[in-house]
């Protein structure tokens, strides 16, 4: 297996006139990885992603995909599948015609029947795109991205507008692509998807990459939290706490098991029952919040 | 490229509005010129009828459809979708424009053949063919440039008017009044030299060298249109 990264971005800048959308962005995606590029609204992830896909030129910096410039469509596109954020299919063509056209133009080999089967649109093959629901259009888009099982797949907000069943089916299909060795680059607003599936996450804010790492690495930097409520006449708890708007107490800790044990031993000793008890590691949401407020 | 062309052909025939405005309307207008060919021959000449039919199909069919199609494919992000595959930009545009171009060429050929059958054939067929090809190239280039200034298919109904009405006006003026006076102006206007070329090719009597020179202004317009198009054409909607 080659150690060259599938995607290599170095000091990428993208500007539109006076607007600096992406600033000095550097990251790599290794073969077989699922890399999630996440960010607040307007963080520059779509600009970054579209530059890596080859849709727009870099203002400065270098982007290499499979060691080639992504602008060289003939060299890189046959090896990558792209699911765009907005569908872009002709309303007058049927599902079958759309998949055959776009799939065929990737120069990979596959059949309409197989990919429509994978995304669950077999029954809609003869339907015009104009008559599809929003979720069905997303699945059609996914069908063209996975045509011919590409080595690299871009999924830009893939599950927006999908119901739970379609969402699970999409992730099953992504899992199968990954079993066959595909590399996946994902953007999503559903942080739990990234938390569950990404090998590594890059967090963008205001055009630059603020944090990067595995979910564990990202959440480790922030403390875990314990929330609980006590009766008004209870003595002061053994942990440093602050009061939440809902009246509960909040304790932050870098040693969740020990501090939770201390708290529960203390309540039992005093014959108290903590109400509304919640304890858990920091979620990606919290990393996000700390980013946007910094 | 051919698969894009095939899908484009399917879309043209499924969208009745495009079919009627761009395919049937110009033929209907031309049919009137054919039906009244004696009247229009006395007004101008048979060469004038040939030229005005070429420009009717070219301006209202080919040119207007080119602009409408490209604006529509851009607006619904179909162009971006095509650009996310391995096809080159030139391949995408060729594929999208091949069907309308072939349809326009077939229409012009049939209309001119009917004119020849009912009123007598052209003096110089290769020269007439050159006039048709040069006109088609010019209008395709102008179509690409206009598409850059057009945001939606509805908007195309406005943005195509100056050039489609303009070239028809020029073709009528040059076709009927000839180029005895104001020759330079008439030849430099878009479509003027092509009209004179088509007229001379049909009527005969002009020196071949002079006729070939008339290709130059039309080809210059092709160059102007393409350089405008390379500056104005957009692949994605404005954000």
Q: How close B143 comes to chain A (CA, Å)?
A: 21
Chain A interface mutation, best of B81, B99, B236, highest count of A Cβ atoms under 10 Å: B81
Residue among B10, B80, B86 minimizing CB distance to A106: B86
Which residues from chain B sit within 8 angstroms of residue A53, using beta carbons? Answer: 84
Residue among A74, A86, A92 minimizing CB distance to B86: A74
Query: Does residue A67 surpass a pLDDT of 80?
Result: yes
Q: Look at residue B231 in the predicted model and tell me its pLDDT.
A: 93
- Residue A111: CB partners within 8 Å, gap ≥ 6? none
Region B119-130 average pLDDT: 94
Region A27-45 average pLDDT: 92
B34-61 pLDDT per residue, tens: 999 999 999 999 999 999 999 999 999 9
Chain A interface mutation, best of B16, B85, B92, highest count of A Cβ atoms under 10 Å: B85
- Maximum average pLDDT range among A238-242, B93-97, B234-238: B93-97
Phi, psi for residue A187 in degrees, rounded to 5: -120, 145
Query: Does residue A41 surpass a pLDDT of 90?
Result: no
E strands along chain A, which residues? 7-16, 19-29, 34-39, 60-65, 80-83, 152-156, 183-187, 200-205, 208-213, 224-229, 242-243, 249-253, 275-280
In the numeric block, which tokens belong to residue A148? 């011919």
Q: Look at residue A190 in the predicted model and tell me its pLDDT.
A: 84
Chain A contact for B85 (CB, 8 A cutoff): yes
Contact A84 B73 (CB under 8 A): no
Query: Does residue B131 surpass a pLDDT of 90?
Result: yes
Contact B77 A106 (CB under 8 A): no
Contact A92 B84 (CB under 8 A): no
Chain A contact for B94 (CB, 8 A cutoff): no
Contact A90 B11 (CB under 8 A): yes
Residue A173 contacts residue A118 (beta carbons within 8 Å): yes
Q: How close B84 comes to chain A (CA, Å)?
A: 7
Contact A105 B78 (CB under 8 A): no
Pick among 3.75.10.10, 3.30.565.10, 3.40.50.300, 3.40.50.1240: CATH of A7-218:
3.40.50.300
Q: Look at residue B70 in the predicted model and tell me its pLDDT.
A: 96
The percent of residues in chain A predicted with pLDDT above 90, rounded, is 68
Chain B interface mutation, best of A72, A88, A93, highest count of B Cβ atoms under 10 Å: A88
Residue-range domain boundaries for chain A:
7-218, 223-293
* Chain B residue with Cα closest to A86: B77
Residue A94 contacts residue A127 (beta carbons within 8 Å): yes
Chain A contact for B155 (CB, 8 A cutoff): no
In the Cβ-directed half-sphere of B50, how many Cα atoms lie within 13 Å?
Answer: 35
What burial class does residue A215 get, using C-beta atoms within 10 Å of its C-beta: 0-12 exposed, 13-18 middle, 19+ buried?
buried
Which residues from chain A sit within 8 angstroms of residue B13, using beta carbons? Answer: none
SS3 of A258-289: the string is: HHHHHHHHHHHHCCCCCEEEEEECCCHHHHHH
Chain B interface mutation, best of A90, A98, A104, A144, highest count of B Cβ atoms under 10 Å: A90
Region A248-273 average pLDDT: 92
In the numeric block, which tokens belong to residue A123? 């029954």
Instruction: Please give the Cα distance from B181 to B63 (Å, whole number).
Output: 29
Q: Look at residue B239 in the predicted model and tell me its pLDDT.
A: 65
Region B80-92 average pLDDT: 94
The string of DSSP codes covering A18-52 is: TEEEEEEEEEEE-TT-EEEEEESTTSSHHHHHHHH
Chain A contact for B234 (CB, 8 A cutoff): no
Antiparallel, parallel or unpaired: β A34-39 and A183-187: parallel
The percent of residues in chain B predicted with pLDDT above 70, rounded, is 100
E strands along A30-163, which residues? 34-39, 60-65, 80-83, 152-156
Contact B87 A91 (CB under 8 A): no
In the Cβ-directed half-sphere of A120, how many Cα atoms lie within 13 Å?
Answer: 16
B6-32 pLDDT per residue, tens: 999 999 988 888 888 888 999 999 999
- Residue A165: CB partners within 8 Å, gap ≥ 6? none
Query: Does residue B178 surpass a pLDDT of 60?
Result: yes
Phi, psi for residue A276 in degrees, rounded to 5: 55, 40
Query: Does residue A146 surpass a pLDDT of 80?
Result: yes
- Residue that has been written with the tokens 């004038």 in this structure: B48
User: A-contacting residues of B 107-136, CB under 8 Å?
Assistant: none
Residue A234 DSSP symbol: P
In the numeric block, which tokens belong to residue B141? 């280039």
A184 alpha carbon, distance to own chain's centre: 10
Q: For the sheet containing A7-16, what is the strand order?
A: A19-29, A7-16, A60-65
Region A231-244 average pLDDT: 89
Contact A84 B77 (CB under 8 A): yes
* Chain A residue with Cα closest to B83: A55
pTM: 0.87
- Residue A28: CB partners within 8 Å, gap ≥ 6? A5, A7, A8, A9
* Chain A residue with Cα closest to B80: A88
Q: CA A193, A194, A195, A196 torsion: positive or negative?
A: positive
User: Distances from the Cα of A188 to the Cαs of A25, A35, A130, A156, A175, in angstroms?
Assistant: 19, 11, 25, 7, 17
Q: Look at residue B228 in the predicted model and tell me its pLDDT.
A: 94
Residue among A78, A88, A92 minimizing CB distance to B86: A78
Chain A contact for B238 (CB, 8 A cutoff): no
Contact A91 B76 (CB under 8 A): yes
Q: Look at residue B139 in the predicted model and tell me its pLDDT.
A: 97
Q: CA A173, A33, A161, A131 torsion: positive or negative?
A: negative
Chain A contact for B19 (CB, 8 A cutoff): no
Query: Does residue A52 surpass a pLDDT of 90?
Result: yes
Residue among A89, A92, A101 minimizing CB distance to B3: A101
| Average pLDDT across chain B, whole number | 94
In the numeric block, which tokens belong to residue A156? 């830009």
The percent of residues in chain A predicted with pLDDT above 70, rounded, is 99
Query: Does residue B207 surpass a pLDDT of 90?
Result: no
Q: Look at residue A294 in the predicted model and tell me its pLDDT.
A: 61
Q: Look at residue A188 in the predicted model and tell me its pLDDT.
A: 87
- For residue B5, the tally of other CB atoms under 10 A from its CB is 18
Q: How close A219 comes to chain B (CA, Å)?
A: 35
Instruction: Please give the Cα distance from A194 to A157 (Å, whole number).
Output: 11
* Chain A residue with Cα closest to B16: A92
Instruction: Please give the Cα distance from A76 to A67 (Å, whole number).
Output: 9
Query: Does residue A2 surpass a pLDDT of 60?
Result: no
């Amino acid at each position: 297996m080659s150690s060259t990264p599938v995607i290599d971005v170095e000091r990428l800048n993208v500007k539109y006139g006076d607007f600096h959308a992406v600033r000095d962005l550097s990251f790599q995606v290794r073969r077989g990885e699922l890399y999630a590029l996440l960010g607040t609204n307007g963080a520059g992830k779509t600009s970054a992603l579209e530059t890596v896909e080859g849709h727009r030129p870099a203002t400065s910096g270098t982007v290499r995909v499979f060691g080639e410039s992504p602008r060289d469509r003939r060299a890189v596109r046959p090896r990558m599948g792209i699911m765009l954020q907005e569908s872009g299919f002709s309303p007058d063509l049927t599902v079958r015609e759309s998949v055959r056209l776009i799939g065929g133009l990737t120069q990979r080999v596959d059949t309409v029947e197989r990919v429509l089967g994978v995304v669950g649109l077999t029954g809609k093959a003869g339907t015009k795109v104009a008559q599809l629901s929003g979720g069905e259009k997303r699945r059609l888009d996914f069908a063209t991205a996975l045509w011919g099982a590409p080595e690299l797949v871009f999924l830009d907000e893939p599950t927006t507008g999908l119901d739970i069943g379609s969402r699970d089916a999409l992730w099953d299909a992504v899992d199968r692509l990954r079993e066959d060795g595909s590399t996946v680059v994902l953007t999503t607003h559903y942080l739990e998807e990234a938390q569950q599936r990404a090998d590594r996450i890059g967090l963008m804010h205001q055009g630059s990459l603020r944090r990067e790492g595995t979910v564990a690495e990202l959440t480790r930097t922030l403390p875990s939290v314990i929330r609980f409520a006590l009766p008004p006449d209870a003595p002061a708890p053994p942990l440093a706490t602050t009061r939440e708007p809902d009246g509960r107490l909040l304790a932050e800790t870098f040693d969740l098991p020990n501090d939770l044990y201390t708290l529960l031993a203390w309540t039992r000793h005093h014959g108290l029952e903590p109400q509304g008890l919640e304890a858990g590691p920091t979620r990606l949401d919290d990393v996000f919040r700390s980013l946007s407020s910094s | 490229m051919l698969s894009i062309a095939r899908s484009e052909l399917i879309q043209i025939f499924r969208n009745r509005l495009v079919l009627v405005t761009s395919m049937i309307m110009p033929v209907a207008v031309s049919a009137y010129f054919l039906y009244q060919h004696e009247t229009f021959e006395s007004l101008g000449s048979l060469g004038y009828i040939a030229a005005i039919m070429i420009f009717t199909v070219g301006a209202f069919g080919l040119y207007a459809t080119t602009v409408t199609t490209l604006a529509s494919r851009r607006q619904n992000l179909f162009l971006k979708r095509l650009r996310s595959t391995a096809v080159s930009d030139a391949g995408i545009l060729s594929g999208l424009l091949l069907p309308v171009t072939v349809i326009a060429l077939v229409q012009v050929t049939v209309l001119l053949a009917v004119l020849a059958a009912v009123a007598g054939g052209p003096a110089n067929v290769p020269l007439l063919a050159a006039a048709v090809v040069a006109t088609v190239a010019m209008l395709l280039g102008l179509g690409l440039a206009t598409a850059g200034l057009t945001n939606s298919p509805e908007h195309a109904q406005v943005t195509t008017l100056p050039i489609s009405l303009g070239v028809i006006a020029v073709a009528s003026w040059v076709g009927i009044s000839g180029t005895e006076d104001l020759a330079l102006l008439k030849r430099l206007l878009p479509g003027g030299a092509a009209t004179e070329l088509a007229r001379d090719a049909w009527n005969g009597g002009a020196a071949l060298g002079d006729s070939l020179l008339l290709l130059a202004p039309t080809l210059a317009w092709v160059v102007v249109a393409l350089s405008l198009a390379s500056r104005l054409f957009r692949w994605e909607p404005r954000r």
